[in-house]
Amino acid sequence: MIKKLLLPFFLFFIQISFGQPSFQLAPPMLKYKSAFFSGSTSFEVIFNQPGSQVRYTLNGKEPTENDLLYSTSVPITKRKQVKVKAFGKNFLPSEIVSATFIKDGKEIHLVSFSKPNESFATSKADILNDNIGGITNHLNGTWLGYDIDTVEINISLKNRETLNYVLINLLQDENSWIFLPEQILVYYYNNKQKAFVLAGKELFTHE
């Protein structure tokens, strides 16, 4: 009597378990020359999983299966936040991969910065405004590295203009002992007060 009751239950349980997706797709890879550009640029998606497809958005929202289907290189002509995600039958969707593309900002007259650590120094005076973003290789000469308490960067624009935001590119690689700062403070010079005034700040948590 007990065996007759257990057997149907066991078969039903097996059928339900095998009907659920259990493997997650690997995230796609975004390929582009630089996140900073003049005129126009483009990006490609590298992903190879038979029966799967990549969807993307250009407005910073999380992609769904109803969003744009990637098939070929996508042109970018203005500031965009791109997010891509892979979907496939019998697979869990991949993690989201994102990139923000920045078109030429304000015309910069002069940039000065604190002396970096010798291991992360550079001879390029325009390293912070050369329209070349840093990559994950921290030894390729596109980063400035510091081991001091306070780093100061001064930026002078060619013309007096209103800024809506300031983009700061940071690298974190704990395996290489590269960590984010505790905070970033942004000041602007107020002509009426004849002093620098705090415009905004960003705090970082360290676990």
For position 56, what pLDDT does the model report?
98
Q: What is the CATH number of domain 29-103?
A: 2.60.40
Q: Which of 97, 90, 27, 22 is nearest to 62 (CA)?
A: 97
For position 138, what pLDDT does the model report?
79
For position 11, what pLDDT does the model report?
42
Instruction: For residue 147, give both structure tokens.
Output: 């081991």
pTM exceeding 0.95: no
Give the pLDDT of the chain (207 residues) as one tens digit per residue.
Answer: 444 444 444 444 444 445 566 799 999 999 988 788 888 999 999 999 999 999 999 999 999 999 999 999 999 999 999 999 999 998 999 999 999 898 877 788 889 999 999 888 887 878 887 777 777 777 778 889 999 999 999 999 988 888 887 878 788 888 889 899 999 999 999 999 999 999 999 998 866
**171, 138 contact by CB (below 8 A):** yes
For position 2, what pLDDT does the model report?
43
Dist. CA 131–CA 36, nearest whole Å: 5
In sequence order, the 6+-apart residues with CB closer than 8 A to the CB of 204 are: 180, 181, 182, 183, 184
For position 21, what pLDDT does the model report?
62
Domain with CATH 2.60.40 in the chain: 29-103
Dist. CA 125–CA 140, nearest whole Å: 16
For position 125, what pLDDT does the model report?
79
For position 128, what pLDDT does the model report?
84
DSSP letters for 23-91? -BPPPPEEE-S-SEESS-EEEEEE---TTEEEEEESBSPPP-TTSEEP-S-EEE-S-EEEEEEEEETTS
For position 20, what pLDDT does the model report?
60
